[in-house]
Amino acid sequence: MTHHANGTSDGQIRWGILGTGFIAELQTQDLIENGFTVQAVGSRTLESSKAFGSKFSIPAAHESYEALASDPDVDVIYIATPHPFHHANALLALNAGKHVLVEKAFTMNAREAQEIAELAESRGLVALEAMWSRFLPHMIRLREIIGEGTIGEVRKIVASHNQNLPKDPAHRLNDPALGGGALLDLGVYPVSFAFDVLGTPETIRASASMTATGVDRQTAAIFEYADGQQAVLDCELDAAGPNRAVVIGTEGWIDIEPTWYNPTPFTVFDSLGNVLERFDRPVKSRGMQFQAAELERLVKEGATAGAILPPSESVAVMAAMDEIRRQIGLSYAADKEVAE
């Protein structure tokens, strides 16, 4: 097994953390616990940077995102700001010659995603979407099982992401100005999973209901594919659910246990319901180290795109989310901005 497959690092590549919120803490913890070098942190205030830096014993704390991006001791920048800022933050880092790991949803829309992908490619840099579930051991095994034909031809996937999240109208999740709504925060997981297993859909049908603040409270989508396959996807931000996923094939099915996008067991059944395989491998830390290991692998190989999640697929995922939003009548300020 190669070193990246177990989610560890030799520590040679130096990371900078852009943004100091909850998700930044989770990623930084996983980096440190698995041998990655976290060299610097940057926030909009020095106070916030220093607090984060002291919590994780990070050598450098910068008073701005610009200062972090221009730090010569940083090779890769992890972008952990709210969705509407990913685009500008990623362009800042890429223009400073840094590779980027960009939190999902990758951007607000496909236009922004395409600009990041094109800039990274032109500079020979990695721009990897932090869709961490793609790189987890159970997802790698799941793709192998499907590829081996164990469950026959895949006909359908069903995937949910329903959480009971904060109700405060000013909270990021409920604020249109901060890219709020169930789709961008939660729905991105099932949408990305559909792309992972079945690829880009031919057509999309979506429906939603909205919050009082004007973002989507709950959204459901059916992706339809050329040979009749379907992905049935749903998300909601004010009611929790089991968060299971299932892949149904002509010869059997795979049941991924709660919470399916976290490190979790799954069971493979034949079409009669007999168990063919049970995958249950404990993972160290939360599991966010695997995406970081993939980014380091790409950097060391001099590649800008990997097979598991190339930038072109992050763009295609955003395009599908754009279409869902078009159908449910959800638009953001970023949709109105014309590309420079």
Please give the Cα distance from 310 to 322 (Å, whole number): 19
3-state class (DSSP) for residue 48 = helix
For residue 107, report the phi and psi dihedrals to the nearest 5 degrees. Answer: -150, -165
Active site residue 104: yes
Question: Given this model, what pLDDT does residue 338 score?
Answer: 64
3-class secondary structure for 91-102?
Answer: HHHHHCCCEEEE
Q: How far apart are CA 97 and CA 93, in angstroms?
A: 7
Q: How far apart are CA 224 and CA 250, in angstroms?
A: 17
Q: Within a domain: residue 143?
A: yes
Q: Quote the crossing angle between the two packed helices 46-56 and 22-33, to the nearest 10°.
A: 30
Same-domain status, 241 and 329: yes
Q: What is residue 116's three-state secondary structure?
A: helix
Average pLDDT score, the chain: 96
pTM: 0.97
Of 101, 131, 161, which one is at a domain's C-terminal end? 131
User: Same domain, yes or no, for 184 and 268?
Assistant: yes
Catalytic one among 98, 104, 156, 167?
A: 104
Question: CB within 8 A of 153, min separation 6: which ones?
Answer: 249, 250, 251
Rounded CA-CA distance 275/175 in Å is 45
Whether 2 shows a pLDDT value over 50: the answer reads: no
Q: Both 141 and 257 in a single domain? A: yes
Q: Domain span at residue 103?
A: 3-131
Characterise 66 by phi-psi region: left (phi > 0), alpha (psi -120 to 50), beta (else): alpha
Q: Residue 6 pLDDT > 90, yes or no?
A: no
**pLDDT at residue 166 greater than cutoff 70:** yes
Q: State whether 101 and 217 are in the same domain.
A: no
For residues 229-256, average pLDDT: 98
Q: Is the pLDDT of residue 4 over 60?
A: no
For 55-84, the pLDDT digits (tens) are 999 999 999 999 999 999 999 999 999 999
